[in-house]
Chain A
Amino acid sequence: MLGCLLAKSLWRGKARTVLVVLSVATASTLVSAFLNIAFTVSEEMAKELRSFGANILLVPKSEPLEIAIGGLRFVSPEESAYLEEGELPRLRTIFWRHNIVAFAPFLSQMVEVEGEQALLVGTWFDREIPIPEGKRFFAFANGSRREVAPDKGTFHTGLKNLSRWWQVEGQWPREDEDGVLIGNELARRLKVGINDRIRVAVEGKSVFLSVRGIARTGGDEEKQIFVHLKLAQELFKLPGKMERVQVSALVTPDNALAARASRIGPANLPPEEYETWYCTPYLGSVIYQIEEAIPNTKGKAIRQVSEAEGAFLGKMRLTFILVVAVAVLVALLAVMATMVTALFERRQEIGLMKALGADAKQLGLLFLLEAGLTGMGGGIVGYFGGLALAQLLSVRTFSLGGLGFSLSLQAAILPITLLAAVSVALLGSFFPAKEAMRLEPVKTLRGN
């Protein structure tokens, strides 16, 4: 009987039911979209933001080993003043390798370009590198071991991936040709354009190179010229060497544990905490892991970037929470307004039910079930609406190729969205229903 009553009264008030469903759906669309974005897109967004530059700089460990004797500086003659290019792929073997978004090696010296002094930088433009195979284990201080499945395939990295905000007129030079990417300022000074050949002289030896692209970067790079690393190594007679590496890594904002690890040193953390620290992608632990993987390397944090990033994401989230809160409030008011009129229209019906002996519990159950079902409908519509909205936002705003939703997150979003929707419907109906139940049957049944 209750089911029949609910179905029929909802059907009879179709227009009203649809109105409530739509109000609730609007709010829950935003709730669902927010959750999807908060859970999924913010990671994508972090990655997107991450593409605006590196946050870790790798230099040779022995770099500071400079000895000054009588005003003359002697750099340690060991080759360890440079890093080995061949060790770079190891960056993708660390525990948090998936958080390494991009990296690029650099080797630079002042050269003469068309008779002008300029910094020539050897780097990787867009390199596809194989990922070392083989199983890897991570052993922790407490003796536990964690196996990490080996990665297969290749990985794109290089300056092009690291510096996505650069605007390149023409093309990025290919890895297999002796092409040049020239800074915009230098190009203007030398009056060279795309496909012009320029003469580069190093220690009396000179080569001719073709300009492939002109870069606007907004920084010092506009005064420099870029060639692929191999060429720079040949010109500088430093085969297989590089001076520094810029790494872009996704990191978690530091917390108390990260702060303590950097203060007392990770090795001095209790084993439990060490494991937690190691298995959390703090900037510190990612650097630590890189230093473990590549001998003779020292990692430096360029921290400002990730902090700004965190603050930006936080602001985005706050904005979104406010939008969602306003939407929920508006939906609540809309449901309330609809319910007040609905129950006014139905006051005779309510009076009749009371005259037939329905008590507050029975009537309350009836109205709240009606509202709850309507809210549930709105929630389901809103859940899918939110998925679509999140998808749209992710494509439009963050220029991602859609979301790679993870199933576990989706599973959590549905019940949360439904809960929000049902709460809005129930809360919006509660006071009108309470008011309606106070109606005296004699008043509503009188006259006609």
Chain B
Amino acid sequence: MGLNIKHKVAVVGAGMSNVMRRAEETGRELSFYAVKEALKNSGLTIEDVECVVMATAPDAFDGVHMKGEYLADGAGAFRKPYMRSYVGGGSGVFAIIHGWYMVASGMFKTCLVVAEEKMSSAQPHPQAAFNSIYDHTLERPLGVNLLWIFALEMNRYMSVHKIPLEDIALVSVKNKRNGLDHPCTQVGAEVTVKEVLESEIMAWPVHRLMVSPTSDAAAAIVIARDDIARRVSEQPVWIKGVGWNLDTAFWTNRDLYYPDYVEKAARMAYEMAGITNPRKEIHVVEPYDPFAYKELHHLEGLLLADRGKAPELLKKGVFDRDGELPSCPSGGLLGVGNPIAAAGLMKVCEIFWQLRGEAGKRQVKNNPKTGLAQAWGDLMQVGTVVILSVN
């Protein structure tokens, strides 16, 4: 990797809509709201935005062909260079990577990154829309179900490391509690380990309260070149490192207990950011948590915990808001909601607010200077990572 990057790039604004089971608004309306919020305190106006990157699920998901074009007006992309990026759940962080290189390359001075999902349109339940990720010839005829891959991966992770179910339930307890303090939350709640373990079994070992909901929402950030960022913003949040990686679609040929591709994405971002000891140099983290075990699995892939040891650190309180390495202080996908492509960008927004000390009741206690957001997706295949810093 040749790190011959032309420009320093910063995030100068962030905003998001409510996260909801069934939004009254269209995806276009939600996007418009998120963009307005992101621009509000950015020091920039829509006229200053030179290009737009949009993340949203494939067309079949919503039944809207050329959905990127459909959403463009709400995303502020009218008559602007516009690009759509998508890697499943990994999209929200994939999109900021695209936004970053639009500006880092010297091509543009500013970029607006928008992510939207409206899952409630798919009937009778959006879950079925996911089934076409499986191989059409060898897997779909078996009557697949999206929960399977998570259950299979979770079982493998638990079995290899001998992790008890109670330890994984703690992730739901922490994130749902954190979510209560998020103004946009759909599923913030006070729950106990017992309640998580007694919730309905969906696909063993996955219980209902270990699964993030289906959601509607939009999120947006504004990105600017260093000279602009310093001029318009009192506290630019610098994009220090980006990384992404995709593993093989032959997922039954890999050991699911560890996400190698997340590690590869993380190492790429750490190298670019000049981070050699992530456990000391990352102060707040938003790993992707669509299922409870996923947060632990990803903390290990991000090298923020030894393999199989994230559950112990969780029990010790290391990942609490007042812990040494607060993880998912927003509440994450389990505590706020999971609007697929928007979920990752929602995490980027949280790191932006945390580093600027603007997270209100969610503010972590360790005065963070550097944070990391990560998303994940496709057929248990993709890792996307961004490192942000006020230094």
User: Do A and B originate from a single complex?
Assistant: no
Residues of B within 8 A of A (CB): none
